Amino acid sequence: MTNLCGSAEQRPLMSQRSLPGTPVTHKHLPIDLRTSMDGKYKEIAEELLARSMTDSDMRCAPYEFPEESPIEQLEEKRHRLERQISQDVKLEPEILLRAKQDFMKIDSATDLEYMQDSQEDAVDQHHVEREMLVEKEFQRVSISGEEKCGVPFTDLVDAAKCVVKALFIREKYIALSLQSFCKTTTRSLQELNPRPLDVSAAEDLRGSPVDSDMRVHMPVSETHPYDGRHMTSLPPDAGYTCAMLDGVVHVYTAQNQDKSTELDLPYPDLQEYIADMNVMMSLIINGPVKSFCYRRLQYLSSKFQMHVLLNEMKELASQKQVPHRDFYNIRKVDTHIHASSCMNQKHLLRFIKRAMKKYPDEIVRVESGRGQTLMEVFENMNLTAYDLSVDTLDMHADRNTFHRFDKFNSKYNPIGESILREIFIKTDNHIHGKYFGHIVKEVMSDLEESKYQNAELRLSIYGRSVDEWDNLAQWAVTHSVYSDNVRWLIQIPRLFDVYRTKKQLMNFQQMLENIFLPLFEATVNPSSHPHLHLFLTHVVGFDSVDDESKPEHHIFNLDSPTPARWCDDNNPPYSYYLYYMYANMTVLNHLRRRRGFNTFVLRPHCGEAGPIHHLVSGFILSENISHGLLLRKAPVLQYLYYLAQVGIAMSPLSNNSLFLSYHRNPLPEYLSRGLMVSLSTDDPLQFHFTKEPLMEEYSIAAQVWKLSSCDMCELARNSVLMSGFSHRAKGYWLGPDYNKEGTISNDIRRTNVPDIRVAYRHETLCEELHLITQAVRTQELDRIEEEEDMLSFTPSQSTAPPISTLEKP
């Protein structure tokens, strides 16, 4: 399993089997995290959820800062003053002029000596010792004084407790599901809750598979992973049986499925999850917490601007000293791209024309019991190969798709015909996805030719039939759809209401069974699903997709029907989908780790539109998310995503056509504050024009937002860190110590990211974590001292005899 920033220590949760209906409290922690909101979480959360369902057009939601906020007015005044100062050199303070002179001075004796040493021996000299010089040289911004955060100490303590409580909640769920949690954040939380580290979650990261002087390209396997030899060496049958109860799969060691034969595979209790959701929903609208987080985010933005002012030229100089490496030949991963739209329009058009010339008489579909050839399909549309053009395909998103997800979905149909979508970009059709497999392999060939670009393509499993997994795996293995540059994610569209209306499903549990039971069967006995077993070795996780802006008619709470009883035509809410996907994935991960197989992560579409509780669910349950636009409106959640270093795959060109204009996209703001963001394409078929859509995404972002070379390389490095590629691959691409903390994790010869930037990010994150943990510890120490004073005073009172007894003879 991949690791974003490090492995999380596992802290077991109570499962429904052992202690049903027991919500989590934080009494197990050796510190007091009680706040003024304790006891009111449920009421506050339900009120906020109800408002999000009814007041969809609220001018200012309770979790965001209003536009007329005095804090924002002060910030705007400060920005205007800074612009005025930068435009008028005569008004610049002398200290700022000196800072600029130091910042422009790159020919000091130390720098020249370093450059000479680098040119003499660029490879053999020990990397860490060489970069320590750069780390010492860069300019840091620090704040002195007792109160460094600008809020009263009582508000700081209350906010710090809430933030720490939220981080503990996320760490608990991420550790339980064997996903990765930021190592730096884990270390800070351990200072508040000392406990022995459980290294089981980091077994696959032990040791270093790559030497520091090895080449940047991972050796390619000589055998194809889908050849016949792998079919003959499948793992044996474990002999377990599986059954789904209340929406979660249970595994038994014998045919008689009772408690005595059930395997201990943990998953979170539903009541516990609802309680934690209520806590999180209450935190994001708490006034002092919201104000504190907003101020910290503004501080992080300003601090980064100062860092760039003082160190930009030094970062550029360190990049220039690296031989051969530049932005074009560092590893980049497209962390959010859908397989059905991974090609551009011109590519699809050429492929359709080639297919019409090469396979005109191939039967591609059956209608009314009669087979239709490819030529007949186009003749029925009165079209020839010569008539086709990019304009005829009409698959590019335009101004008419803005806030119209229904029109955007129709753009997946070439020439507006769903028949052509079924023939060319579906895996399950009359020709078993032959054309789609060919065009995806052409995209893979383009990625391999570029050498440094990789992608995580999303394929759909709908949950309408139990055969979908086998059909998908059969498609991948039969057509040899594989590349070392590509990994798969499985997206689950939230379309239960559509299937229920068409009478394809009886209840929501049937959908969950169709999605997860084949995975458990392939894990227990790979021989029962041999193609699926091979295919799953290249699957890294699950995604949840659909239009987030669709209204939700139900609030997920303890009164919600279980999946077996969800027979309504209304769709379950987002958090309902995510919880049951997470719970089943958690059980599956523990079973697969027990059998020595790869595990999966949860990386849903989250925060593109819709209510804020989508981002709350994503924070608690997901390793990474896609989009995250609504974080710009929720300062508490944005600060939490920063502290936990939750990966966010952002697609500005996609957002520009659907939900948010390009100039309003928060990606540059997230990047400056230090959130773990990466650039991705989403749907090249709808949004891009060139053969290299990921480079197109980077180039437009660099031009519009004036990103520096260091910024671009940092985004590329983030994309590799948050991707699902193996630990060994990341060692080749980023350096052998990429999963460690600080500058030792960076190899500039591979990433082209200066150690100055990595050191700044690490030190800033440590300072923010230290601020909140120190506030909690200080308050806890004061409480302990007060208790000790009370204890020392009480015995002296009790041992003193009453006056009346002294007066007795």
What does the H/E/C string look like for 659-721? CCCHHHCCHHHHHHHCCCEEECCECHHHHCCCCCHHHHHHHHHHHHHCCCHHHHHHHHHHHHH
Q: How many residues are there in the chain?
A: 809
Instruction: Extract long-range pairs of 129-137: CB within 8 Å, 24+ residues apart.
Output: 131/743, 131/746, 131/748, 131/755, 132/743, 134/314, 134/318, 134/754, 134/755, 134/756, 135/743, 135/755, 135/756, 135/759, 137/110, 137/111, 137/314, 137/756
Cβ-proximal residues to 769 (8 Å cutoff; 6+ apart), any chain: 184, 185, 188, 643
110 neighbors 311 (Cβ within 8 angstroms): no
Q: Which of 627, 688, 727, 762 is catalytic?
A: 627
- In three-state secondary structure terms, 460 is strand
Please give the torsion angle defined by the CA atoms of residues 518, 520, 524 and 529, in that order, rounded to the nearest 10 degrees.
Answer: 20
Q: State which amino acid sits at residue 652.
A: P
Query: Is 727 an active-site residue?
Result: no
CA distance 252 to 250: 7
Q: Which helix (DSSP H) or strand (DSSP E) does residue 488 occupy? A: strand 486-493
CA distance 492 to 51: 28
267 neighbors 248 (Cβ within 8 angstroms): yes
773 neighbors 191 (Cβ within 8 angstroms): yes
Tokens describing residue 393: 């395909």
234 neighbors 537 (Cβ within 8 angstroms): no
Question: Please, is 95 exposed, middle or buried when counting C-beta atoms within 10 Å of its C-beta (0-12, 13-18, 19+)?
Answer: exposed
Please give the torsion angle defined by the CA atoms of residues 299, 305, 311 and 315, in that order, rounded to the nearest 10 degrees.
Answer: 110
Mode of pairing for the β-strands spanning 248-252 and 241-245? antiparallel
DSSP 295: H
Catalytic residues: 627
